[in-house]
Amino acid sequence: MTKKLRIGLAAMLVPAAFLLSIPALAAEPDTARFQLERSGDHFVRLDRKTGAMSVCQDQGGNLVCRMAADERSAYDDELDRLSDRVTKLEKTVASNKGSSLPDDAEIDRTLGIMQKFMRGFMGMAKEFQNEEPNTKPLPQKT
């Protein structure tokens, strides 16, 4: 993962962490979502909703959790994949120069289709105007 992407992610996570640290704005924790199990001198935290596992340690009375190594690797791989995808999309946009306008040939073809349609429609409208109105009374349906 590139340094620029890591800095960008950190810049997004810091404000989110700050907002969550304010008690009035933070939602109440879902105590049934996580399961903690002691394993030696640390804890393993299972997120029952996502299946993610974290390794947690008591540091100065606070439980500090970090992603498990295999999940961190999968997380980094996904970030790298998404970064590559963004780069490819940016190159595609740059090669199109941001222009998705049709060329002159496409415009001429479209105008030709529209003119043909309008001529046919106007011809049918003139035929209806030239027809004699039906002078027979309509049957009573009551």
pLDDT at position 49, please?
85
Specify whether 80 is located in the same domain as 93. yes
pLDDT at position 30, please?
64
Count of the separate structural domains present in the chain: 2
Strand pairing report for 34-39 and 53-59: unpaired
Specify whether 78 is located in the same domain as 101. yes
pLDDT at position 26, please?
46
Who wins on pLDDT, 96 or 53? 53
pLDDT at position 29, please?
61
pLDDT one-digit tens code per residue, 93-133: 888 765 677 889 999 999 999 999 999 999 999 988 887 77
pLDDT at position 52, please?
80
Domain containing residue 38: 34-67
Q: Is 117 inside a domain boundary? A: no
Token readout for 129 is 């105007």
Long-range own/partner contacts, residues 78-83 (CB < 8 A, 24 or more apart) = 79/1, 79/5, 79/9, 80/1, 83/1, 83/2, 83/5
Specify whether 74 is located in the same domain as 104. yes
pTM, 2 dp: 0.33
Specify whether 88 is located in the same domain as 73. yes
Nearest to 56 by CA among 37, 71, 43: 43
Lowest-pLDDT range of 8-12, 93-97, 134-138: 8-12
pLDDT at position 119, please?
96
Specify whether 62 is located in the same domain as 79. no
Whether 110 contacts 102, CB under 8 Å? yes
Specify whether 73 is located in the same domain as 108. yes
